[in-house]
Structure formats: structure tokens, C-alpha cells
Amino acid sequence: MPITTVIFDYGCVLSLPPGPADYEPLRAALGVEAAAFQEYYWRHREAYDSDALDTTAYWQGIGRDAGLTFSAEQIQKLALLDCHLWGRPDPVMVEWAQVLHARGWKTGVLSNMSRNVGGYLRRTYPWFELFDHLCFSSELGIGKPDPAIYHICLKALGVPAAQALFIDDREVNITAGRALGMPGILFRTTEQILPELEPYGLAASMLEAKARAAPET
């Protein structure tokens, strides 16, 4: 069955992966040591991304873990810095999604994402409107790799699993999709993914996106 649809993860696929320097403004605003920052940041993230915790509860939870208390103003600043952390699109991947859209392919986003970040991205980047469906965990109360969120995304796109290529940066999420019959590619870089797109007839569109996204000299 030929592929008709490409479903993208957002974080570290459509967006650039944050490096240590990218986390630094948020770490400094939190006021925690670098060695402990990642543990605090990710400890409650699954609950935050599935909307079991709202923005205030998430940051206050980090505060309790770190022995700190944050004011409403501090939480607002932390939440905005968090949006900036994930608001760095990969120009090649975004261009590729637009090339696919122009060529008549269906596209979707299936991402574990808090309401705060999801709302920021919807407001900030008009290209999100080009996707046929955005499936964010916080808006559904479930996240990857729960099979239910894959079913919801596929139903919204109106395609069977076998026709939807899923691209994600976590093996566990790719494995969950494959269990439902979705072909998947584990994403690392646009260079790595290019030959893996060839069997699906998508390599040429990626090359076009690379050419379009290349800085002019």
C-alpha cells in the first residue's frame, strides 16, 4: 500500500534539538545547578505534556523538588522561556513539510506537548496551518506511545496506518506506531533520513526542501 501521508513529531524533528546553551536561560531563571537541571525539568514533564498538570502546577512542582518557591511572575517568565526553548524550527524539515503539502501529500503532527508550548507554537508559526491535523498530547490527555493517540491522529487524517509514514526521534514511539501497522523512521538528522526516504518515494521532495532552505550565498 503506497504512502500518502507523513506524520511528524515536533520536538527534535520539526524543531532543532536544544543544546546545553539553549537550556541555560531557563536553568538560570530557575536558579538550580546545571547538574540537577535536567532531572528537575523532565521529572514531571510527562504529566505536564498530558495535561495532568497545568503550567503553574508543573513549575511549582519543580520548585518543590528544588526547595524553591516561584511567584506568578516568575512562573510566567519560566513558561515563556520554555516556549522559546522549543520554538526553534528546523528550517529544512519545515520546508519539507511545505513541499509535501504543495505536492498534495497529507501531513500531520503527532507530538507530546504541553498546552503552553502548543499554544505558543500555534500563535507564532503560521506554517502550522498547512498541516492537515495537529495532534498534541495535552489537548487529548494522552501521549505517545499510548496506541490511542495514534488511532486518533490516523482517524483525523482519514488514512489507514499502512499509508502513514511516522517520523519521530524516539525509538519507543516508532515501535508503538509500527505495532499498529505504521511504517516509521527514527529521526536524527536530515542527512541521515534522506536515504531512508527513498523506498517511500520521498527523497526527491527532501532534496528540494534542502535546496530551498539553503542560505543564499
Separation CA 68–CA 32 (nearest Å)? 9
Mean local confidence (pLDDT), 143-168: 98
| Cell numbers placing 145 | 506511545
10 and 110 fall within a common domain: yes
Task: Output the furthest CA–CA distance in the chain (Å, rounded).
Answer: 55
112 and 127 fall within a common domain: yes
146 and 199 fall within a common domain: yes
pLDDT of residue 216: 67
pLDDT of residue 24: 97
The pLDDT tens digits for 40-55 are: 999 999 999 999 999 9
Place of cell 498547512: 130
Residue by residue, DSSP assigns the chain as ----EEEE-IIIIIBPPP-HHHHHHHHHHHT--HHHHHHHHHHTHHHHHTTSS-HHHHHHHHHHHHT----HHHHHHHHHHHHHHH--B-HHHHHHHHHHHHTT-EEEEEE---HHHHHHHHHH-GGGGGSSEEEEHHHHT--TT-HHHHHHHHHHHT--GGGEEEEES-HHHHHHHHHTT--EEE-S-HHHHHHHHGGGT-HHHHHHHHHHHSPP-
The pLDDT tens digits for 186-199 are: 999 999 999 999 99
108 and 204 fall within a common domain: yes
First to last CA, the chain: 42
What is the share, in percent, of the chain residues with pLDDT greater than 70?
99
Mean local confidence (pLDDT), 3-8: 98
Q: Band of the pLDDT at 217, cuts 50, 70, 90?
A: low
Place of cell 508503538: 176
163 and 64 fall within a common domain: no
78 and 120 fall within a common domain: no
The pLDDT tens digits for 14-42 are: 999 999 999 999 999 999 999 899 999 99
133 and 98 fall within a common domain: yes
Select from 69, 86, 103 the last residue of a domain. Answer: 86
pLDDT of residue 214: 87
77 and 150 fall within a common domain: no
Domain count, the chain: 2
12 and 106 fall within a common domain: yes
pLDDT, mean over the chain: 96
Domain span holding position 165: 5-16+89-213
74 and 119 fall within a common domain: no
Separation CA 162–CA 199 (nearest Å)? 14
Separation CA 197–CA 206 (nearest Å)? 8
